[in-house]
Chains A and B, each alone.
Chain A
Amino acid sequence: MFEVYVGTVVVALIGIYCMVWKKNMIKKVIGLGVFTNSIHLLLIAIGFRAEGIPPIVTLGNINYFALRAVDPLPQALVLTSIVIQLSVTALALGIVTLAYRHLKTLDTDRMNKLRG
């Protein structure tokens, strides 16, 4: 289990690095996707159970079910979150397209009209 958590942190750091230091707008959006997926990985890892069974109650032994079934909630959360990520990415790419039409480049250093 420990390896999964370490992997999550590594993927998250790659995503943050990509979002913060890369100058290309598309790469920033890719970094956003990587960071989001690292959190999804963490959520799935929280719900993981070795040799688990699907969380569907059948007529079998309920104690066995409680002992072995994986937690379905994180998977539901991740599904919701994936849908949200899809919409954010679509909007981000739309904005990048519009920015490219104005600036004729994807370099964020050229985005210097406004200063904090």
Chain B
Amino acid sequence: MVFAFGGWSPPFGIVWVLDKLNVFLALLVTGVSSIIAVYSTKYIKERKHRYYTLLCLLTIGLLGVSLTGDIFNLYVFFEILSVSSYALVAFFLDEGAIEGAFKYLIVGSITSLFILLGIAMLYGLAGTLNFADLALRVSITPAYMVALGMLVAGFSLKAAIVPFHAWKPDAIEGTPAPIGAIFTAISTAVGVYGILRVLFIFNLIQLNWVLILFGVITMLVGAGLALVQVNVKRMLAYSGISQIGYVIMVIGFGTLLGLTSGLYHILNNALIKTLLFMGVGVGIYLTGKENLNEMGMKSTPLLICVGIGLLSLSGIPPLNGFVSKWLIFMASWEVSPLLTVIAIVASAITLAYSFKIFSSMFLATKRIEVKIPRTLLVPVIILTVLCVLIGVFPQIGLNLVEPAANALLDQSQYITAVMGG
């Protein structure tokens, strides 16, 4: 589906395109942000009007990036998304939040400018800004490769791939927990989407050892650093980095199975991370502590929900994390069995830090009796049910993800749809 703004036909005006991949991402963004909007009504105690203004802006940015079919329009929405993220990181206005926000702002602005530089070079070389029109004109020459490199580097910072990951735990430590969920669940997904879309324009979705290498490093470093954290939000942030490593690795394979498993893992990572951030957020809301050693509490429903989330994160069979990890193992076995072994090792480390969170929250010697407000508990339960449901019936997720992977591999269909044959 193509929507041309102001009736200007595609190569000239701004278009919004809704293909199978964009549908998948837009559903993810709207789903997660609406659940977070409900959850935040209770979680945010003061200055709610500012919080919701920024949250809506962030959602607009994420949706715009996922729906647009014009590369400069993508930059504009990317900036809307970034600016509202910086403001949300600084939301609590305490020292840690401000420090995280300033670091994120400097690093994030450099990123956005590299993306702008890449766009400027692409425009200078190809003379167009429309995705489909660009796809028709680009070629594999050194000048184009420089522009491609700038764009991919920019988006990989948003996706927090390891050499560019340092801002993320710092930023997430200061934010409210639901915003941490948005950052790890969908901001990264949008970053990965950016990488995928740029590679799609250049028709370069194929076996790519650079992406595989970065994916493997991200996977191991993220998991290893998550193991040593004591702040629960930082631990989840590193866990999110590690999960994105899997996605980047399988995107590097360039096969249909690889892309399917990668997108499926984005979906599952979004569900699990939102669930965990919200579940842990309930603990932070009630105890006021973020340190793992001080968060002990007694609550059966929260124990079940967070427990399921953590098991799913480490890929235990009847849950959704297992489905996508199994697909990832199969996809990596086709390329190189060594990669499967590395992925399983990272998965084992995931289990270790998952157990650390679980034991310090629910098995600690000093636990306090808590009563959880219903507004906080219901979104967590909804996400838990979704996790189990997708784990038991993997076809639900597969129906959404497989067409998206197919759309990525078929460039001509996209061009025909936008340019009108």
Contact = CB atoms under 8 A, between A and B. Distances in A.
Q: Determine if chain A interacts with chain B.
A: yes
A10 interface: no
B95 interface: yes
Interface of A: 12, 16, 19, 25, 28, 32, 35-36, 39, 42-43, 46, 73-74, 77, 80-81, 84, 87-88, 91-92, 95-96, 98-99, 102-103, 108, 111, 113-116
A95 B76 contact: no
Size category of the B interface is: 35 or more
B328 to A, nearest CB: 27
B110 A96 contact: no
A19 B111 CA distance: 12
Contact of B120 (A43, A88, A115): A43
Interface string B252-280: 00000000000000000000000000000
B166 A46 contact: no
A39 B113 contact: yes
Given A103-B95, A108-B102, A113-B95, 11 more contacts: A39-B113, A42-B117, A77-B123, A80-B72, A84-B79, A91-B86, A92-B109, A95-B102, A99-B99, A116-B165, A116-B170
Contacts of B116: 36, 39, 81
B101 interface: yes
A99 B102 contact: yes
Q: Nearest 3 A-B pairs (CB), nearest first?
A: A116-B166, A46-B124, A114-B170
Contacts of B292: none
Contacts, number: 89
Nearest to B97: A98
B90 A114 contact: no
Nearest to B104: A95
B113 A91 contact: no
Majority-rule SS of B interface residues:
helix
B110 A35 contact: yes
B95 A25 contact: no
Given A42-B120, A46-B120, A116-B170, A36 B113 contact: yes
Nearest to B119: A77
Given A91-B86, A91-B87, A114-B170, A35 B123 contact: no
B98 interface: yes
A55 to B, nearest CB: 13
Nearest to A43: B120
B102 A96 contact: yes
A76 B98 CA distance: 34
Contacts of A74: 120, 123
Contacts of A88: 79, 82-83, 105, 109
Contacts of B394: none
A84 B165 CA distance: 24
Contacts of A111: 99, 102-103
A94 B110 CA distance: 18
Contacts of A36: 113, 116
A88 B106 CA distance: 10
7 contacts: A19-B110, A35-B110, A36-B113, A39-B113, A39-B116, A84-B79, A115-B170
B68 to A, nearest CB: 14
B96 interface: yes
